[in-house]
Copies of this chain bind each other. A is one copy, B any other.
Amino acid sequence: MLDIGFDIGGTKIAAVAADEDSGIAGKISCPFPKGRDGRFVAKMLYDMAAELMRGCGESMNGVRSAGIAVPGSISRDGEVVKDAYNLGFRNVPLRRYAQEHFKGIPVNMVNDANAAALAELYKGVFKGRSCAVLVTLGTGVGGGIIMGGKLFNGGRGNGVELGHAVLDFRGERCTCGTLGCAETLISASALIKGALRRVQNGCGGMMAEIIEKDGSINAKEIVGCALLGDEPAKSAFDEYMDALAAFTVSIINVFDPEVIAIGGGISGAGDALLKPLGERVKKMCFFDSPCEITVSEMGNDAGAVGAAMLFRSF
């Protein structure tokens, strides 16, 4: 029997079929049908599952469960996508729509950051851990928490919003309305913003050249420029790392987890990120020794694999 996992994103829908060992038996992806409604997407998910199973040489009878990861907030009962801006979904009962197609197959739904944490738990860097925190740094900041070896979806079931822990309570206004949320300081977007500010101030250097050539710059490129000794990039990266270290230390002091994993595009910087982060955290952490800090392992498959694991996680 296979478990199907879907990761619905603003540009594409990824799907995997996972075997008993959480291995990927097959995968497939489609562009996200922008502007179409939840019923349309639900039908698409079923068609993708059927095609995925055909690719594995099996029928839909071989499906044990289906899980859906969504980039947004989900109602406490797991039925409704309350708000997923990138999908244009608001109060869409997507689980039920999907369930109507997946007859006799249990369908569950989860936030994509939670799904990524589950993927790390079953197949990645959280394997065998009881308490672990995943922090994904992208356009926003997401996170997933493992507690007692299981996904922690908030004490009331509203989920966890690590990106909306306050890090600078007199700071910049966040999209959520509160001042100085972590998201305003440690998202990849915040690093890019800091870099652009320096370039616009006419600092010159490698970042200005990249922007001149490509019209834009991403977080990994900024880290690269900093590593190569470009002064404006080093300054932007240092400022960013101070905030990221303060956030990481807060997580450690509050949860005392066994391991923290950093995900999202910027985690591709690997040791260039982990080394300066580890040095700062060691000095700042309340406890004698900080926990292990690493980068997430599941990469682009994390959301879909985690969604496939959802059935096993109850």
Point out residues on A near B: beta carbons under 8 Å: 130-132, 147-148, 152, 154-162, 164-170, 176-180, 185, 242-243, 246-247, 249-250, 253-258, 283-284, 286-287, 291
Q: Given the known A-B contacts A130-B155, A160-B256, are A165 and B283 also in contact in the complex, defined by CB atoms under 8 Å?
A: no
Contacting pair B155 A246 (CB below 8 A): no
Asked whether, in the complex, the Cβ of B286 is within 8 Å of the Cβ of A256, the reply is: no
Task: Give the number of copies in the complex.
Answer: 2
The smallest C-beta distance from A129 to any residue of chain B, in angstroms, reads 8
Interface contacts beyond A131-B155, A164-B250: sample of 19 additional A-B pairs, CB < 8 Å, sorted by A: A130-B155, A131-B154, A147-B155, A148-B148, A157-B256, A158-B256, A158-B287, A161-B254, A161-B286, A162-B253, A162-B254, A165-B253, A166-B247, A167-B167, A167-B169, A168-B170, A169-B242, A177-B284, A178-B249
- Smallest CB-CB separation from A245: which chain B residue? B169
Contact between A257 and B155, CB atoms less than 8 A apart = yes
Main secondary structure of the interface of A (DSSP, over half): loop
- CB–CB A253/B286 < 8 A: no
> Max chain B CB contacts within 10 Å: which of A147, A152, A179, A250?
A250
